[in-house]
Structure 1
Amino acid sequence: MSTWLARRDAIAKLFAALLVTAAVVSTLDPVASLSVIGALLVLLPLTGVGLGTLWRRGWPILASAAGIFVFTVLFGARDSPVVAHLDWLGGLDVRQNAAGYALRLLAVGLPGFVVFATIDPTDLADSLVAHLRVSPRFAIGALAALRLAPLLADEYRLIRLARRARGTRAGVFSTLFGLLVAAIRRGIRLATAMEARGFDGGDSRTIARDTRFGWPDALVVAAGLALAMVVILLKFART
């Protein structure tokens, strides 16, 4: 991926996302959450993540937000202001807290999704060691975990197919338990192999690729800070 945001430092993107997420978590104002969602969708071309990819990978967050919205509308507190009245659903009232919870979940999940979609695991490990002085053992472990994470979806699909081929009912929880067992076994083998190759952190290590924090990376942090300040200002302006 060679987009502008993908070329920026991993720590800068993580810090910017953390600032925005912290600001969004502090408020239930739907307008503040919508401002974050709108800003990230406008900046989406800079990330190289298309709307199709966003939908395929992010639909669980959207489904969770929809579930929270419906549950809060039906069973939430009735002291929240009404923002819409749905006559076609039997006069159902949509209150501000329902929209606030659902939109806040989207506004919290979207920055992390965009950031991790543009971060190369190797760049993240190098940046952790170079800028945050993180232990190489931890950074390399994080690199290995991120490299193996995409394999979990394929492993889940293979477990379901294997159980169907044996005539065993492929339930969700039993399949997830099998995936957990397989992930633990893979992690043990990987840890043993890494230790055998000298990744035990016993000796000092150097960084093969030079990682610099330049002004474009500072611009990413500044953009995250600006968006977080907008959320905070909207929070106090609408109280």
Structure 2
Amino acid sequence: MSLIAADLRHSRLADVNPVAKLAAALIMSVTLLMSIDPVSAGVTLAATLVLLPFAGLTARQLWYRLWPIVVGAGIAAIATVLYGRPSGTMYVEWGILRISDGSIDLALSIFLRVLAIAVPSVVLFATTDPTDLADGLAQILKLPARFVIGALAGLRLVGLLIEDWRELSLARRARGVADAGRLRRLAGQSFALLVLAIRRGTKLATAMEARGFGGSGPRTWARPSRLRWRDAGIVAIAIAIAAASVIAAIAAGTWRFILGL
């Protein structure tokens, strides 16, 4: 069963090969990691948001997936504003707390860069089925099949793990075990979930071994994974966005190659 949300299965990005999506995300991420400046990150983020409708993701769906990253980026930006290396005009200086032009600029750069790296990755992989990704990694990139299939099997058990946690909570509450001692309850329930996960993992490993997943011979694949012209288009768009962000930062005079700092 596909793990893509039902309303995202028919988006234009859903038919793109996951390997091409991975390459596109890496191109933009590596480019952003080469410099700490607000312009390049802002250009990448703006371009991604402009292309968001083609992915089929609404603003609400994007926020649901991104809010932990936004909160983390905000905390990092605030800490940088308050305790970053001072330079330029000093606005506040109180003990180790120093707010200056340099700390504000660095905080803005960090905040935008985190979002510019996270948003394209979330947009691209929200429309990616894990089975398609595993097929692409094993067939196109030639990664070890045992590792890829094992990771896929583990990923597909995440939903069962969440359901087990909910059922354990209801069962313990029905027995009156969950009435007091929140930390003690959390520790006991976590241990019970660990036992269930180990048992299920052992059974799954035995079943996969019986079906020949651990064989040393060449594998066959039910769904061939191939690269097509539309996949090259996604990579080309990523290269264009990365190039535009670098050119804009250099033109604005904000480009700071990170190895040169």
Q: TM-score, normalised by structure 1?
A: 0.83
Corresponding residue of 1:226:
240
Corresponding residue of 2:145:
136
Corresponding residue of 2:177:
166
1:216 aligns with 2:213: no
Corresponding residue of 2:28:
20
Corresponding residue of 2:212:
198
Give me the identity figure in percent: 42
Find the aligned partners of 1:175 and 1:44 in 2 and give their Cα distance.
43
| Amino acid in structure 1 at the alignment position of 2:236 | A
User: Following TM superposition, by how much is the alpha carbon of 1:95 offset from its aligned partner in structure 2, in angstroms?
Assistant: 1.0
1:108 aligns with 2:117: yes
User: Following TM superposition, by how much is the alpha carbon of 1:63 offset from its aligned partner in structure 2, in angstroms?
Assistant: 0.7
User: Following TM superposition, by how much is the alpha carbon of 1:46 offset from its aligned partner in structure 2, in angstroms?
Assistant: 1.6
User: Following TM superposition, by how much is the alpha carbon of 1:234 offset from its aligned partner in structure 2, in angstroms?
Assistant: 3.4
Query: C-alpha deviations, 1:67-104, integer Å up to 9, x for none?
Result: 1111111122112678x99xxxxxx6561011111111
User: Following TM superposition, by how much is the alpha carbon of 1:176 offset from its aligned partner in structure 2, in angstroms?
Assistant: 9.6
Say whether the 8 Å CA contact 2:168–2:189 is kept in structure 1: no
- Matched positions, count: 233
Corresponding residue of 1:40:
48
Query: C-alpha deviations, 1:100-136, integer Å up to 9, x for none?
Result: 1111111122222122211111111221222112222
| Amino acid in structure 1 at the alignment position of 2:177 | R
Find the aligned partners of 1:117 and 1:71 in 2 and give their Cα distance.
30
Corresponding residue of 1:89:
none
Find the aligned partners of 1:56 and 1:175 in 2 and give their Cα distance.
30
**Pair 1:219–1:208, CA change in 2 (3 A):** same
| Amino acid in structure 2 at the alignment position of 1:29 | D
Query: C-alpha deviations, 1:24-70, integer Å up to 9, x for none?
Result: 11221112112121111111122222211111122110110111111
**Pair 1:158–1:34, CA change in 2 (3 A):** farther
Corresponding residue of 1:120:
129
- Name the SS of the counterpart of 2:82 in structure 1: helix
Say whether the 8 Å CA contact 1:73–1:95 is kept in structure 2: yes
**Pair 1:229–1:176, CA change in 2 (3 A):** farther
Larger radius of gyration: 2
Say whether the 8 Å CA contact 1:80–1:95 is kept in structure 2: no
What are structure 1's unaligned runs of at least 5 residues?
86-91
Corresponding residue of 1:51:
59
